Amino acid sequence: MPKRVDPNNPASKESAPKQNTKTQLIDAGIQIMQEKGYNATGIMEVLQSVGVPKGSFYYYFDSKEDFGLQIINHFDECYTEKLRRYFDDQSLTPLARLRLYCDEGRKSLLEAQCRKGCLIGNLSQEMADQSEVFRSRLEEVMVKWRNYFASCIKEGQEKGEICTKIDTQDLAEFFLSGWEGSVMRAKTTKSPGPQDAFIRVMFEHFLCKKSP
């Protein structure tokens, strides 16, 4: 297949600007898709938001589906860095790492006025029945998150900080789905109340060894 050249952007032959435009489109796509979902996101809206001409889209992406999948990949890369910062931090106890994860997530949602929520959760809800390609990729990302939680919970259980009566994998899935549910609820109530309830119940009464 011959190399495609963007007819609307001569700079596309050069590697750095090409990457730059592509990254701009992906970043804009994340912002719009996180709020509107996949189906309601128009390619034109994305292109206009970064001032890239219409004809350029198919130079960078094979299709809207390809764009969506590259958005998931990019988000996954960035989010994995964040997860590493929280969960590889040996200066914090395992419970403190889980708590930091929730506190930072709550802070981000508040900064966004309880809009947008979680891109991966949103797309899972919207696309899991619509596209097997999306579903399997979204599941990979969620399983990666769950594995971070499971490792942290296991360490907490081994160190006597987290209750050992509950199966580690069950607790990790429960933590993941409960947190995702609380993000969705916070979007709907337009308040962090559901996340606060999740954090209080999990950390004051549940994960904490002494309770309930």
Using CA atoms, how far residue 204 sits from 68, 164, 197, in Å, is 39, 16, 10
Q: How far is CA 168 from the centre of its chain?
A: 22
The dihedral over CA atoms of 120, 121, 127, 131, expressed in degrees to the nearest 10, equals 50
The answer to whether 115 contacts a second copy (rule: CB under 8 A) is yes
The answer to whether 145 contacts a second copy (rule: CB under 8 A) is no
Question: Least CB distance from residue 180 to a second copy, whole Å?
Answer: 4
CB-based contacts of 94, cutoff 8 Å, min separation 6: 152, 153, 155, 156, 159, 161, 162
The answer to whether 4 contacts a second copy (rule: CB under 8 A) is no
The answer to whether 63 contacts a second copy (rule: CB under 8 A) is no
Identify the residue among 68, 76, 179, 192 touching a second copy (CB under 8 A): 179
Identify the residue among 5, 11, 40, 44 touching a second copy (CB under 8 A): 40
- Both tokens of residue 174? 């429960």
* Residues at the site binding a second copy, with contacts judged by CB under 8 A: 35-37, 39-40, 115-117, 121-122, 124-126, 128-130, 135, 138-139, 142, 163, 165-167, 169-171, 173-174, 176-182, 184-185, 187-190, 193-194, 197-198, 200-202, 205-206, 211-212
